[in-house]
Structure 1
Amino acid sequence: MRVVLAAMALAGLAATALARSVAGDGDVQRVSFASADGHTQLVGYLVEPEGRSAPEPAIVLMHGRSGAYSKGADGDYSARTLRRRDIGWARFWRDRGYAVLLVDSFGPRGFPQGFAAGTHDERPASVDEVTVRPFDAYGALTYLRRRPEVAGDRVGLMGWSNGASATLATMAVDGAASGGRAGGRGFRAAAAFYPGCGLNDAFAGGYRPYAPVKLFIGTADEEVSPEACRKLAARNARLGGGVEITVYPDATHDFDDPANHRQDNPANVSARADATSQMEAFFQARLRP
């Protein structure tokens, strides 16, 4: 377990790369594919690198509890109104040669505006992050593997908040959707940004991922418990490991969100820069040949 306060000097390069303009939607393709739950047709947003010479690795992105779209969507739930953080990361990975698929789990189930903070216990079972959304991740994986431009054995998974909890549940050896990795061909690696690590008590016996997982969270997170994530990582270490946790002093929930109210916090700026740098190296090592 490591606790990191990234030097402010790191912030410039990594944060600038991630904060590029996200205006427009011409590079984003809206697609549809089946969830592995067997009955839900999902919406996704595909962003692909240009000029590829061979099948490229890919990354699936899982949105948080606010859903895939910005607060100002005003009924326009499309590529034009995707959350700046999510599409910013999609383009960050695209610029580094990865195909990226951002999954909308909530819109197809009737909740495109997502959910407010503090409403976890009031949300319908149809969007449960531990028992339902992992099937969406595996549906996305199946969809990508059918595309000839994607290297189907080199796909990573990344999620934020509620989507980070879904990411952890997806990667669990004994998760509800574990059948999605038929033949042992699941995701090669995953990253969970500020998840709710209680995971609805689904892994009371301890959490074990089938592939490496990075977990990032701040000590000033106002929505989920850093201590719960420390405990998850500690218990995982006793079970053989697979989870690497980075805890950022004074960083909040959504520390990588480019919005001013998040990046006005120096701890968030520092955390965002360090997490970006770590993630670039992590997926490079796990998803490249």
Structure 2
Amino acid sequence: MFSVSLAHATPEPVSIPAGGLSSSPAPLVAHLFQPDAPGPHPAVVMVHGCGGAYAKDGALNARHQMWGEYLASQGYLALMLDSFSSRGLKQICTQKYSERMLKEADRVGDAYAALSWLRQQSGIDAMHIGLLGWSHGGGVTLDVIRRKPANMLEGFSAAVSFYPGCTTRNKKAASFKPYAPLLILIGEADDWTPAASCVALTNTARAQGAVMQIVTYPGAYHDFDHPGLSKIRLRADVPNGVNPGKGVHTGPDPVAREDAKRRTLEFFAGQLK
């Protein structure tokens, strides 16, 4: 177990300029979790899923708070990036993929705007910055890690993607060539973003020389790492998934969550420290 200080538990709100990288019409909102020890520190940019960054009370949701605290307690500066508020959005989970005004590819610039901003801050190890995303943000992570902006010489050093959508990407697997080490973590029972496509995508990428890993968790569903969920439930309000119109299952798996935390920490330690 780890202990979290008050500094970790209360992230600092910051503003990220679009800087010509992001399509956001206004500066992006973000929340900064800082380690106690003096820097320079490696950093991790975190990108949320289709539900946004916040709980119903307006605070960061339990998953993002947990991960921010956890990474800060292990010596990383963690930046929780909000792609929705500056665009007037709260959530897009209940929208069909074809009707979403904000696609995963549209958020790629957000991640690079955050990367550029972090590199200008004191106390940051500018050459060791990772990316961590969930679901819609997991797909953003896959898009980010396969291409850098033309005017950016160095991209992210490593990336972790929780339960991204791989089905469409797997249809063009030959062109998926991540430029940095990549780890995918996904539940085998996931009926929102199925694991099989991610396994196939990983196998193709590895065959082409990519430094890419995948871990699948038997019996685990979408959102398996979310500490704020108490049980598996059917989300009938989600029109996408393996069975469109029939809803998707989400829910916690404490064993998988703890394993994923351990693997994420080991992965980032190997790439960012």
Please give the range of the TM-score, normalised by the shorter of the 2 chains.
Answer: 0.7 to 0.9
1:147 aligns to 2:100 (yes or no): no
Moved more, 248-257 or 192-201: 192-201
Give the aligned partner of residue 199 of structure 2.
Answer: 230
Question: In 1, distance between residues paired with 2:174 and 2:267?
Answer: 28
Match of 1:114 among 87, 91, 95: 91
Q: Residue 282 of structure 1: SS of its match in structure 2?
A: helix
Cα 1:104–1:267 change in 2 (3 A) is: closer
In the alignment, which of 35, 41, 53 is matched to residue 68 of structure 1?
Answer: 53
| Secondary structure at the counterpart of residue 156 of structure 1 | strand
Alpha carbons of 1:237 and 1:24: their partners in 2 closer, same or farther (altered >3 Å)? closer
* Map 1:94-133 → 2, pairs under 5 A: 94-111=72-89, 113-117=90-94, 119-124=96-101, 127-129=102-104, 131-133=105-107
Matched, 1:44 2:18: no
Superposed CA deviations along residues 206-234 of structure 1, whole A, max 9, x for unmatched, are 31110100001111112111111111111
- Please list every run of at least 4 consecutive aligned residues from structure 1 whose deviation after the TM superposition is greater than 4 angstroms: 20-26, 199-204, 262-267
Structure 2: stretches of 5+ with no match in the other structure:
234-249
Distance change >3 Å, CA 245–CA 201, structure 1 → 2: closer
Q: Which residue matches 1:8?
A: none
Give the Å deviation of 1:267: 8.1
Q: Which residue in 1 is equivalent to 2:240?
A: none
Identity over the aligned pairs, expressed in percent?
Answer: 32
CA drift at 1:241: 2.3
Candidates 147, 160, 163, aligned match of 2:137? 163
Report the CA distance between 1:181 and its aligned residue: 6.9
Q: Which amino acid aligns with 1:188?
A: S
Tell me what 1:179 maps to.
149
Q: Which is bigger in relative contact order (C-alpha 8 A, separation at least 6)?
A: 1
Question: Any residues of structure 2 matched to 1:1-289 within 5 Å, and which?
Answer: 13=1, 17=2, 27-35=10-18, 36-37=21-22, 40=25, 41-52=27-38, 54-70=39-55, 72-73=56-57, 76=58, 81-111=59-89, 113-117=90-94, 119-124=96-101, 127-129=102-104, 131-172=105-146, 175=147, 178-179=148-149, 182-183=152-153, 185-198=154-167, 203-262=172-231, 268-288=253-273
**Secondary structure of the corresponding residue to residue 286 of structure 1:** helix
Q: Could you tell me whether the CA contact under 8 Å between 2:231 and 2:252 is conserved in 1?
A: no
Listed one character per residue, the Cα deviations across residues 87-128 of structure 1 (whole Å, up to 9, x for unaligned) are 1100100111111111100111110x212356322210xx21
Amino acid aligned to 1:243: M
Separation in structure 1 between the aligned mates of residue 69 and residue 9 of structure 2, nearest angstrom:
12
Q: How big is the shift at 1:257?
A: 0.3
What is the alpha-carbon distance in structure 2 between the residues aligned to residue 266 and residue 96 of structure 1? Answer: 26
How far did 1:242 drift? 1.8
Work out the CA distance in 2 between the residues paired with 1:200 and 1:108.
Answer: 28
Gaps of at least 5 residues in structure 1 are 1-12
Q: Taking structure 1 as reference, are residues 46 and 252 closer, same or farther at Cα in structure 2, changes over 3 Å only?
A: same
Report Cα offsets for 1:262-289 as digits up to 9, x if no partner: 489998222111111111111111111x
**Are the equivalent residues in 1 in contact too, given 2:8–2:35 (CA < 8 A)?**
no
User: Structure 2 length as normaliser, TM-score?
Assistant: 0.84
Amino acid at match of 1:49: P
